[in-house]
Amino acid sequence: MNRCLQAPEILQLICNQLPNDQKEDRQRLRALALSCRALLEPALDRLWYKVHSLAFFIPTLPASMWKVESVTPGSRPKYTLMGLNRAILTADLVRYLSYYAPRIQEIELGGLTSTFTVEAWQGLQAATSWKPGAMTPYVRTIRWDLSPRGDTSLSEKQLNRAFPYLSLFAGPTTKSLHLTFDSAVAIQMTSVQGAPNLCQALEEFSLTNLAGYWSTKAFIGDYLQSFSWQTLKVLKVTDVGHELYPSLSRLPNLTTLEISNIHGTTPHHYDSLGNPETDYISAIPHDAFPSLEVLKLKSQELYYLSNFLQQLPPNNRLHTLKFTLTFMYDEEHIDTLLEALKHHCNPETFRKLVLKESTHLEAEENEDLATYPRIDILSALQNLTALEVLSVSFATETVDLQPDDITNITKYWPNLVKLKIDVDYPSTRPPSINHDELLELIYGCPNLKKLGLRFDATQISEEEEVPECALYDTPAPIEKLWVCDSPIIRPSNWARFFEAHCPKLRKGATPLEVNGLPNYVPMVMYERRWNSVTDW
């Protein structure tokens, strides 16, 4: 054996890189553990690092304890129900608790095929003195999803019966707890209400309520006010209304907030205000959201996003903001959102902005694009000089960058690492920039690694030199380039362009994927030409 492989630390590092999510992965880890004595402990550590079932500890306990029954619930696949043949003794658990349980760091329930009777669950609680987290005393992360799913054989009744026994696994060492539940099911709701009491040092908490917005609204306010949350740093919830904003703003150590369906109220409209600083901003508590750094919101309405942003004091610590619109874009409210960004993003801390639309509806452009002005994002954000990531993409409206905008980008945001504008959806609006502006960006933003633009790629010559307006002699280290449906005629010229000005570009440019359209549609040919650039 190589001398390096004789070091336990090296073997542990090697085993830690092996996957253990799939059944086949775990089989390989078992084989590895049995292959030689030196690999036994590190392979077992990796095998038991994350467990995926409710009955993962069964093989380590005496077989004489269990009464095994195979149940076929109607049309669903059969599952195994574990009952008791005899009382569970403390001695029965010694081997598991001393040798296997200390290795378990994560629980992520997958396709469940086995569970316990209520008698067996209660027997385990009694044998461990009803101590929270007794079966996994060192677990740090738990994803407790007992909702009916296609990959789960258990009946809904059995899933509900198992839900409250989260207390056997969540305990003092649990830092991250993710609960998927249905608040309309009483036993699930009761368990969720008491879950924070199990984890005294909880840092990350995720609540996904399958019952929907109104059911969540009925309890979430009182729920958040029932605990101190002194250690909570990350909160992820599904449905939140504006009534909850004050409670959220008082969480002392909250650094990351994710809300997947926010319902706000009408925001302050800046065109009706004399001076925003005195009209409403001065009324915001200066200690609201004192630690918030990352904010990710999804909403069906743009003005709900604006309304939440207006709860932040201007001197906040926010550095990352991601807004996702889940319904159709509304041009009437984009200006309010941009103004809110201008007034509530702190130039000293703000680094990353993502505005996107993720609707599943077919987007239809307006027939007369001239009557719908482009999204003027630069004017609103030019004071955010520390910006490193800017990504904007809506299905029905575009930023439509102009040549002057490119010059201003290199002026206002020299620290950009990622710039992605208008490349997630096709547009009939002709691009207003071409390869010249692309070169200006490449030689004007020295840290730029990821770039996405719609531009006219038809005017390129065989040899494009460094532009006179270049701020730097060497090109940006572009590794990824999205071009959407940018028109292109000469793939060979672009192959030379990338070789000269984007030497670190991986796999050429990435066009918009076009599926199911006939060959005579221009986008289909553009995709082919961009994909063929790497062949030259």
Please compute, for residue 162, the number of CA atoms within 13 A of its CA located in the half-sphere on the CB side.
Answer: 24
pLDDT of residue 471: 92
Give, in order, the Cα–Cα distances in Å from 220 to each of 183, 299, 396: 10, 18, 34
Report the interhelical angle of 37-49 vs 8-16 (nearest 10°). 40
**Residue tagged 């809300």 (tokens):** 259
516: left (phi over 0), alpha (psi -120 to 50) or beta: left
C-alpha angle 255-19-237 in degrees, rounded to nearest 5: 30
The answer to whether the beta carbons of residues 171 and 138 sit under 8 Å apart is: no
- Classified as helix, coil or strand, 479 is coil
DSSP state of 76: S
Sorted by where each begins, the domain ranges of the chain are 1-49, 141-419
The answer to whether the beta carbons of residues 445 and 409 sit under 8 Å apart is: yes
Q: Which two tokens stand for residue 449?
A: 């690694």
The answer to whether the beta carbons of residues 399 and 374 sit under 8 Å apart is: yes
The list of the chain residues with pLDDT below 70 reads 1-7, 9, 15, 277-278, 328-329, 359-373
**C-beta neighbour count of 89 within 10 angstroms:** 12
Round the CA-based radius of gyration of the chain to a whole number and report it.
28
The answer to whether the beta carbons of residues 120 and 99 sit under 8 Å apart is: no
pLDDT of residue 36: 79
The residue length of the chain stands at 536
pLDDT of residue 360: 53
Q: Which two tokens stand for residue 297?
A: 């919101």
**C-beta neighbour count of 379 within 10 angstroms:** 11
Q: How far is CA 27 from the centre of its chain?
A: 30
Contacts of 103 (CB under 8 A, 6+ apart): 44, 45, 47, 48, 49, 138
The answer to whether the beta carbons of residues 396 and 427 sit under 8 Å apart is: no
Separation of alpha carbons 270 and 343, rounded Å: 10
Please compute, for residue 437, the number of CA atoms within 13 A of its CA located in the half-sphere on the CB side.
Answer: 21
> Number of H helices and number of E strands within the chain?
17, 18
Separation of alpha carbons 347 and 1, rounded Å: 56
The answer to whether the beta carbons of residues 65 and 88 sit under 8 Å apart is: yes
DSSP string of 417-453, one letter each residue? SEEEES-SS--SSPPS-BHHHHHHHHTT-TT--EEE-
The answer to whether the beta carbons of residues 45 and 15 sit under 8 Å apart is: yes
pLDDT of residue 509: 94
Which amino acid is it at 127? A
Q: 1.10.357, 3.30.1360, 1.10.1740, 3.80.10: which CATH number matches 141-419?
A: 3.80.10
Question: Sign of dihedral through CA atoms 9, 10, 13, 19?
Answer: negative
* 128: nearest Cα among 84, 183, 167, 155: 167
- Classified as helix, coil or strand, 259 is strand
DSSP string of 12-53, one letter each residue? HHHHHTS--SSHHHHHHHHHHHHH-HHHHHHHHHHHHHEE-S
Give, in order, the Cα–Cα distances in Å from 362 to each of 298, 329, 373, 396, 453: 19, 12, 21, 10, 22
Separation of alpha carbons 14 and 31, rounded Å: 15
Separation of alpha carbons 40 and 526, rounded Å: 55
**Residue tagged 């608790």 (tokens):** 97
pLDDT of residue 4: 57
Give, in order, the Cα–Cα distances in Å from 339 to each of 228, 258, 381, 384: 34, 22, 9, 13
Separation of alpha carbons 115 and 53, rounded Å: 9
- Classified as helix, coil or strand, 330 is coil
pLDDT of residue 228: 85
Separation of alpha carbons 52 and 106, rounded Å: 9
- Classified as helix, coil or strand, 299 is strand
Please compute, for residue 441, the number of CA atoms within 13 A of its CA located in the half-sphere on the CB side.
Answer: 29
Question: Sign of dihedral through CA atoms 326, 329, 334, 336?
Answer: negative
